[in-house]
Amino acid sequence: MATGSQPFVSPWLVAAAGWAVPGLGHAIVGQKWRGVALFAAVASLFVGGLLIGGVRVVDMPGYFDGQRQILRNGSWTLTQNPVGTVLGKPWFIAQSLTGPSAFVAGYGGIVAARNGYPKPTARLSDIGVLYCATAGMMNLIGILDASGRASRQGGKP
């Protein structure tokens, strides 16, 4: 599909839009059907992961047992050592690439944990985590693709 008639949009803006809403980056560069297909696939994988394992498969870094903030010397580890804390839960890095929905789900997981909903058993937890992380990784590919298309329309990356 020709994209030459599209006005130039910054690849960074396209990437940000693609992260905020999967597929929106493609829609901005004039590839609406690609955007719709990507959104359907990424959203299905992410929602599927939440349905399989429950919202607690999105495990926010910096929380002990998914509900209480981990404190060290009186301050929250996520503000004290953000890189180390996030690296402690590497799956969340991939899941967060799905966009703000991952953070909403992560917050939902904290609320669910505080209300006594247990973490799923090992296998279902693994599958749910895998679905959500795969959604994020596929969205990353989508972000890079949309950003590349934007830069080929005449701008610089």
Partner 1 sequence: MPLLASSTGWVPFLSPAPIWDAWPILLLPLLVGISVAYKAMKVPTASRLLPEALKLTLYLTLGLIGAAVALTVLVGFVL
Q: Residues in the site for partner 1, rule: CB under 8 A?
A: 1, 33-34, 37-38, 40-42, 44-45, 48, 50-55, 108, 112, 117-118, 120-121, 123-125, 127-128, 130-131, 134-135, 138-139, 141-142, 145
For partner 1, which is the closer residue by CB, 44 or 79?
44
For residues 46 and 76, give the distance between their C-alpha atoms in angstroms, rounded to a whole number.
28
For partner 1, which is the closer residue by CB, 11 or 53?
53
Smallest separation (angstroms) from partner 1 to the CB of 72: 30
Angle between helices 122-152 and 100-114 (to 10 degrees): 160
Owner of token pair 């909903």: 117
Token output for 147: 């950003």
For residues 77 and 42, give the distance between their C-alpha atoms in angstroms, rounded to a whole number.
31
Smallest separation (angstroms) from partner 1 to the CB of 44: 6
Smallest separation (angstroms) from partner 1 to the CB of 128: 7
Residue 145 CA, distance from chain mean position: 16
